A and B are shown apart, each in its own frame.
Chain A
Amino acid sequence: MNATPPIAGSPGDAAGMAAMLFCVDPTGTGVRLRAMPGPARDAWLAAVHSMFGRGAPSRRVPVNIPDGRLLGGLDLAATLASGRPVAERGVLADAHGGLVTLAMAERMAPGTAARIAAVMDSGEVAVERDGMAMAAPARFGAVALDEGLDGDEVPPAALTDRLAFHVDLSTLREQDLPVPADAAAIAAARERLPAVTVSDDIITSLCAAAVALGVDSLRAPLAALRAARAAAALAGRDAVTVEDAGIAAQLVYASRATRMPAPPETEETESEPEQSPPEQSAEPEASAQTDDNTEQRLPDADEELLVNAVKAALPADLLAQFAAGVERRVPSRTRGKAGATCNGSTRGRPAGVKRGEPRGGARLDLLETLRAAAPWQRLRGKSPGSTARISVRREDFRISRLRQRTATTTIFVVDASGSSALHRLAEAKGAVELLLAECYVRRDSVALVAFRGRHAELLLPPTRSLVRAKRCLASLVGGGGTPLADAMDAARGLADSVRRRGDTPVVVFLTDGRANVTKSGEGDRPRAEEEALLAAKAFRVESMTTLLVDTSPRPQMAGRTLAEAMGARYLPLPHADSHTLSGAVRVAVAAG
């Protein structure tokens, strides 16, 4: 069977195709555009604008947009001027029938994402704010600009789940992008779109392909279906063909795939090293053939075609990972870093308003002030010589009270090497879970870095979710060397990002302090110890709260020296269980 991707050629063509399909059915699809600001991104966006048609509104949503601007609310200026409440439409309502660009989506707070997602789902903005209730239609095409650097920085999953196409321009140049279609062709396709039909077979194949590739969310096949329709409409057809479905599958599933299609019972146990070395992505026929040997249900030819289309579009390294039996950690399932931003110090808990004057940094609560003044206007209006529509007096002033506190993020750095006994790991897991269980009350979060073998690994990004923590902890295994310096650097990087977010990091090391793997991943004890000491000093320089729990059966100098170097509290706990451990951490956090 012919398994060349339906969109032949470079990734640029795929990006161009996504742009066109998005313009044909903007409300049904949506794009997550992963790229740094630059000519390629500008060109892509310009192409979308040119195809979208004249007169369509286009709005840009900044990452920290307040609810009042996003959804709408009371227009204070107009209200004051006219003497009656005047509503202000939000950005989303303004963009009805047009395009919404979400800037820096990877840093968007989950709350903002949830609001936008709710509007996308219902097609209207429902506002219950500032003393007014209104609803305005808001059906728009969304483009989320994702400037995340690595897999950890992703837009909130609530958003990415609803955006059909995930386009990656990071490796493309401006000239790689194809020339956009003209607006007339798009307009014609839009007209044709409602009449395009899809056969049941195609729907079944799209769903089956999603399952085969490990795409869980049911929004994905729905999005693929919309995309396939758009593709058919664009090609001037009245019915979706397998080729259209192939294009849709490639664009929608490729970035969401979590596994190589294989019969369910073999995927966990068998690793198939011979299956597809990376360079075979250009001709995935061979890998397709090897898949087909043991099948319980017979996949119809269409499904296979779709799966192959997606496979052809997968990045080569991913393919190799799948082949090695590694399930991909789906970025969209992780909680974005933005979560902590929103729950950190930026979210001062409003503790109501109080009467007072806006001085000394206190912020005037305009609305409450206005409310306080409002009932008296009739009475005050009678005072002669006044031209102001509304008279606000000193006793009306209300200032907002914000109760702010910084949240603590405890970063556990756990030695999972062979020298630390395996049961240490279990205790660390227990301690993390115990601390997490208390996090509801304290509103704190926990992160986990484990190191063994040659490198350290961020196992659990800062989170409060017990569900997620358990999932990550369950996969932690022990054994191997002790790359302490690498772990320290990783932890410091994480602590730094936590601090920049406005939270307070507390780093807890659980190790015996005997480094034997260098940063470059070589087994060289003296150099490894030297590097570890150097890395430890960096903590002291940045004056971070640290705690070093010496887990060796007989505590020795290595641990103590390290603790001194980083200015850490030193705690020899040869017989720590998870309860004493979490207790000790609590004390350190309180003191720090």
Chain B
Amino acid sequence: MSGLFPFTAIVGQEDMKLALQIAVVDPTVGGVLVFGDRGTGKSTTIRALAGLLPRMKAVIGCPYGCDPASTAGICERCSGSEHPKSQLVPVPVVDLPLGATEDRVVGALDLERALAQGVKAFEPGLLARAHRGFLYIDEVNLLEDHLVDVLLDVAASGENVVEREGLSVRHPARFVLIGSGNPEEGELRPQLLDRFGLSVEVRTPEDIATRVEVVKRRDAFERDSEAFRAGWAKDDDKLRRRVVAARNRLKNVQVPDAMLERAAQLCVKLGTDGLRGELTLTRAARAFASLEGDTVVTDKHLRRVAPSALRHRLRRNPLDDAGSGTRVERAMQEVFGA
């Protein structure tokens, strides 16, 4: 099980794969939540994302991997130097293991240096490592509440402020939050739910051919992961190029006013709280259009991403039996026509 499963070798689960690609194309979409049955490859797919991401430029020696090209939102050290040397590094996909303690997540006093040299130094935590990349929380609904609060706060502000043991450190921490979980283990707090840009539901494939394919590929991977990855490298490369192209094209994609209006109508119809829904919907539609190679957002794009962008923002109505996905479908029928 060493190494990553190739992203393109994942059978089916198109919604999840698309949502992740959108998050790569436009990180401002704001995170992806994957909820669904056991054994559907949630974790596998998300971890596979790391293999898909193109490398990025980062300042050498910067503990936060600052972008040498940008001037805003960089750490103190980098804002001091004029022309920092940079190198290509992989985009971080940081796994937040269950049982992580708060000091490792936000960073704390460097114990080793304090003990050995008597120096008070800050040791960056997982949030620092995830800067400019992805932070993945498996079983997000089992995460301790106080950690969830910290994560939400940092994800929203893009900055991690540490005030511990007389240390006062702030550093940039902009990352895409990716969570996965099984709804039967317990629900997610609505506050947290709303912070995710996109949410997808994954199900076990029921048709036998698909299941056979899943089992075969997984088996091949477990027996010889190197050879398996080599076999899929071409496809992964192709997808990587597509995603990179989409990212470069993104700022040229037009969102006509009519589409903004459509998005607003949809949100009003569904009664979502706040404006985050519309914002995410438009951004996701734009990213999707870019992925498709289109330069103008149309109904087609909105329709494709609307369930993911809005599903988790609906006011929960315990007396309505219809699933949230169905409610989004219904609203779309009314707004877009059949």
Asked if A241 is at the interface of the complex by the 8 Å CB criterion, the answer is no
Q: A115-B98, A131-B103, A211-B211 are in contact. Are A84 and B115 (CB under 8 A)?
A: yes
Q: Number of A residues whose C-beta is below 8 Å from B?
A: 77
Name the distance in Å between A149's Cβ and chain B's nearest Cβ. Answer: 22
Q: Which of A161, A208, A220 contacts B208 (CB 8 A)?
A: A208
The yes or no answer to B257 lying at the interface (CB within 8 A) is no
Within residues 227 to 243 of chain B, which ones have a CB less than 8 A from any CB in chain A? none
Given the interface contacts A114-B142, A217-B37, A430-B319, does A371 sit within 8 Å of B126 by beta carbon?
Answer: no
Q: Which residues of B contact A129 (CB under 8 A)?
A: 99-101, 104
- Kindly state whether residue A433 has any CB partner on chain B within 8 Å: yes
Complex contact B190–A468 (CB within 8 A): no
B211:A83 contact, CB within 8 angstroms: no
Q: Is B195 an interface residue (CB 8 A)?
A: no
- Find chain B residues with CB under 8 A from A85 CB: 111-112, 115
A259 interfacial contact with B, CB 8 Å: no
Question: Distance in Å from the Cβ of B86 to the closest Cβ of chain A?
Answer: 25
Contact, CB under 8 Å: A194 / B223: yes
Task: State in angstroms the CA–CA spacing of A351 and B183 once bound together.
Answer: 27
Point out the residues of chain A lying under 8 angstroms from B120, CB to CB: 375
- By a CB distance below 8 angstroms, the chain A residues around B100 are 128-129
Q: How far is the CB of A361 from chain B (nearest CB, A)?
A: 22
CB pair A433–B318 under 8 Å, yes or no, is yes
- Find the B residue at minimum CB distance from A220: B39
Any A CB within 8 A of the CB of B82: no
Interface contact B215-A111, CB-CB below 8 Å: no
Decide if A219 touches B39 in the complex (CB within 8 Å): yes
Q: Which of A198-206, A312-320, A502-510 binds B?
A: A198-206
CB distance from A252 to the nearest CB of B (A): 13
Bound CA span A433–B318, Å: 6
CB pair A217 B204 closer than 8 Å = yes
Report whether A158 and B185 are in contact in the complex, using a CB–CB cutoff of 8 Å: yes
Of A161, A206, A379, A437, the residue contacting B38 (CB under 8 A) is A161
Cβ contact within 8 Å between B38 and A157? yes
Residues of A within 8 A of B108 (CB): 131, 371
What is the size category of the interface that chain B forms with chain A? 35 or more
Cβ–Cβ contact B116 & A83, under 8 A: yes
CB–CB A132/B95 < 8 A: no
Chain A window 121-138, contacts with chain B (Cβ cutoff 8 Å), 1 for yes, 0 for no? 111001111111100000
CB pair B208–A204 under 8 Å, yes or no, is yes
| Interface membership of chain B positions 144-161, coded 1 if the CB is closer than 8 angstroms to chain A and 0 otherwise | 111000000000000000
Indicate if A118 sits at the interface (CB-CB under 8 A).
yes
Query: Which of A96-104, A166-174, A459-467 forms contacts with chain B?
Result: A459-467
In the assembly, what is the distance between CA of A339 and CA of B187, in Å?
A: 12
Residue in A71, A218, A468 whose CB lies within 8 Å of B99: A71
Within 8 A of A (CB), among B49-75: none
Across the interface, do A127 and B211 meet the contact criterion of CB distance under 8 Å? no
Does chain A have a CB within 8 A of B298?
Answer: no
CB distance from B95 to the nearest CB of A (A): 6
Task: Decide if B97 touches A207 in the complex (CB within 8 Å).
Answer: no
Q: Name which of B2, B97, B166, B206 has the most chain A CB atoms within 10 A of its CB.
A: B97
A464 to B38, CA, bound (A): 19
User: Which chain A residues border B123 with CB–CB below 8 Å?
Assistant: 131
- Which residues of A359-376 are within 8 A (CB) of B? 371-372, 374-376
Q: Find chain B residues with CB under 8 A from A433 CB.
A: 318-319
Number of contacts between A and B (CB, 8 Å)? 189
B43 CB, nearest partner CB in chain A, Å: 7
The CA-CA distance from A206 to B319 in the complex, in Å, is 41
> Would you call A549 an interface residue if the criterion is a C-beta within 8 Å of the partner chain's C-beta atoms?
no
Given contacts A221-B211, A222-B219, A379-B118, contact A84 B112 (CB under 8 A): yes
**CB of B17 within 8 Å of the partner chain:** no
Q: B215 CB to closest chain A CB, in angstroms?
A: 5
Q: Which residues of chain B come closer than 8 Å to A89, judged between CB atoms? A: none
Q: Does B138 contact A (CB under 8 A)?
A: yes
Shortest distance in angstroms between B3's beta carbon and chain A's nearest beta carbon?
11
B218 sits at the interface (CB 8 A):
yes
Separation of A114 and B115 alpha carbons in the complex (Å): 34
Residue A79 at the chain B interface, CB threshold 8 Å:
yes
B28 interfacial by beta-carbon distance below 8 Å: no
Contacts known (A114-B142, A440-B190); A371 close to B109, Cβ less than 8 A? yes
Residues in chain A near residue B318, CB distance under 8 A: 430, 433-434, 436-437, 466
**By the criterion CB–CB under 8 Å, are A110 and B185 in contact?**
yes
B-facing mask of A350-361, CB < 8 A → 1, else 0?
A: 110000000000
Are A118 and B189 within 8 A (Cβ)?
Answer: no
Residues of A within 8 A of B269 (CB): none
Residue pair A464, B115 in contact (C-beta under 8 Å): no
A335 to B187, CA, bound (A): 12
**A130 with B208: CB separation less than 8 A:** no
Report chain A residues within 8 Å CB of B218.
Answer: 222
A524 at the interface (CB under 8 A from B): no
Contact (Cβ within 8 A) B215 A218: yes
Residue B316 interfacial (CB < 8 Å) = yes
B39, A211: Cβ atoms under 8 Å?
no
**B115 with A83: CB separation less than 8 A:** yes
CB-CB < 8 A to B185: which residues of A? 110, 114, 158, 335, 339, 465
Q: Tell whether A394 is near chain B: CB-to-CB under 8 Å.
A: no
Question: Looking across the interface, which residue of chain B has its beta carbon closest to that of A445?
Answer: B186
Chain A: CB-nearest residue to B37: A216
CB <8 Å contact, B98 and A118: yes
Question: Within residues 200 to 254 of chain A, which ones have a CB less than 8 A from any CB in chain B?
Answer: 200, 203-204, 206-208, 210-211, 216-222, 225
The CA of A390 and the CA of B111, in the complex, are separated in Å by 13
Known: A84-B112, A110-B142, A440-B190. A218 touches B41 (CB 8 A): yes
- Cβ–Cβ < 8 Å partners of A210 in chain B: 211
Given contacts A131-B123, A222-B219, A378-B118, contact A121 B1 (CB under 8 A): yes
Contact with B along A413-440 (1 / 0, CB 8 A): 0000000000000000010011011001
Give the docked Cα–Cα distance between A220 and B204 (Å).
12
Q: Which of B38, B99, B206, B218 has the most CB of A within 10 A?
A: B99
For B321, list chain A residues within 8 Å (CB). Answer: 470, 474
Nearest-Cβ distance from residue B34 to partner chain A, whole angstroms: 15
Instruction: Verify A375–B187 contact, CB threshold 8 A.
Output: no
Taken together as a complex, chains A and B put the C-alpha atoms of A491 and B324 apart, in Å, by: 33
Minimum CB–CB distance for B315 against chain A, Å: 10
A564 partner residues in chain B, CB cutoff 8 A = none
- Complex alpha-carbon distance, A216 and B205, angstroms: 9
In this complex, what residue of A is CB-closest to B219? Answer: A225
> Given A129-B104, A221-B211, A466–B99 Cβ distance below 8 Å?
no
Question: Once the chains bind, are A203 and B215 in contact (CB under 8 Å)?
Answer: yes
Q: Which residues of B contact A308 (CB under 8 A)?
A: none
Q: Check A206 against B208 for contact (C-beta < 8 Å).
A: no
For A376, what are the chain B residues with a Cβ–Cβ distance below 8 Å? 118
Query: 30 A-B contacts, Cβ less than 8 Å apart?
Result: A85-B111, A115-B99, A118-B139, A121-B1, A121-B43, A123-B2, A129-B99, A130-B103, A130-B104, A131-B123, A133-B104, A157-B38, A204-B208, A216-B37, A217-B37, A218-B205, A221-B211, A222-B215, A335-B186, A343-B186, A371-B108, A371-B111, A374-B109, A375-B119, A377-B115, A430-B318, A465-B184, A465-B187, A466-B316, A467-B184
- Please name the 10 residue pairs, one residue from A and one from B, whose CB atoms are nearest each other, closest first: A378-B118, A433-B318, A217-B39, A374-B114, A128-B104, A219-B39, A128-B100, A67-B99, A131-B111, A114-B139
List A residues at the B interface (Cβ < 8 Å): 28, 67, 70-71, 74, 79, 83-85, 110-111, 114-115, 118, 121-123, 126-133, 157-158, 161, 194, 198, 200, 203-204, 206-208, 210-211, 216-222, 225, 333, 335, 339, 343, 349-351, 371-372, 374-379, 381, 390, 430, 433-434, 436-437, 440, 464-468, 470, 474, 578
List 17 additional A-B contacts (Cβ < 8 Å) besides A350-B144, A374-B109: A28-B222, A83-B115, A84-B115, A114-B138, A115-B99, A129-B99, A130-B103, A130-B104, A203-B216, A211-B206, A351-B146, A372-B165, A375-B165, A433-B318, A440-B189, A440-B190, A465-B186
